[in-house]
Structure 1
Amino acid sequence: MSHKILILYGSYRSDRMGIRLAHYLVAKLTAQGHAPELIDAQSVNLPMLDRMYKEYPPGDAPPPMEALAQKIRTADAFVFVTGEYNWGPQPGLKNLTDHFLEEWFWRPAAIASYSAGRFSGVRAGIAWHAILSEMGMVPISSTLAVGPIAQTLDADGQPTGAAGESLDKAFGRFADDLAWWADAAIQQKARRAPPY
């Protein structure tokens, strides 16, 4: 089954390396027959959180926020591509995510972390598990951890060397896990409406 999957990426840095991983995921999920879409926090450019989407009267939310709310509501699954800043999540990705709440409910989420070093952003990835659970998503158990990112993916998001081979090897299970949970969520919602 083909799924609509949002790939959410949150770095605002001028020399962004994680965009390589975001592009890699879009290409790989497309090759599997899914319909991924990259949501780049820098391009969406929501302000620092003041009012959540739900706090605006209907029709009054800023147009980029309204458009993103619709994309989130209609997605089957999500992938959060996170770098690690001081052992924690990127503020840009967290800010993008926090503008919404109910829009995220009852769908699976996957975490792909990265860093310039050997820890591959896993500490930020661990933090995202709790954040996504609190926001009504089901984080899958499979994760991708990429580091050093410059030795794993080239500027076009293509795998390079042994690290790139390892990423390609891990991707299959990651994608299968996400698709299984997306199928399960779709089928369960068809049988029974979510309780809230």
Structure 2
Amino acid sequence: MPFLENPVSGKRKGYIEVIAGSMFSGKTEELIRRLKRAKYAKQRVEIFKPIIDTRYSEEEVVSHDANSIHSTPVSSSGNILMLAQNVDVVGIDEAQFFDMNLPNVCNQLADMGIRVIVAGLDMDFRGKPFGPMPHLMAIAEYVTKVHAICVHCGDLAQYSHRKTDADKLVLLGETDVYEPLCRLCYNKVTQENDK
């Protein structure tokens, strides 16, 4: 999506793009692809991720396919505003782990003429809207919903099923802890677990 210019003021218009879906759906892969294209176009890019996400790297956003791009880990969304100076594009990965002020931060960045690209889980392991993601999807100009493939039946998957009994909301993990499931398989598995 190109930078748009306001025909009246001549200023660059910022906007928000959200990439949402389940685990293993390619959210981070798509985020990295968009950010690398922006860098190739010689745009100034800053990438942020929550400080708690250290699964693959402390200072890189890394996809499950091992593609990566340098990022700055931050402890709160407010830090993004302080660190995103003189940039054209801001990328934010794992948005669901940020505080509820993230939509406000993204709005402020977009109002400053910055293209903001956010990726995150739209639902938690219980199938409930996750953190600031619903609000971000509501205020974004562009929303891309990506899907994984259900590991039980091969249909499109939109649920991140947790395979362990851990009940805390945030539990970092990979295929050892989570699997993507379609609605039918997710409902079947969760009903069996509730017995």
Q: Normalization by structure 1: what TM-score?
A: 0.40
Q: Normalization by structure 2: what TM-score?
A: 0.40
* Greater Rg by CA: 2
Higher helix share: 1
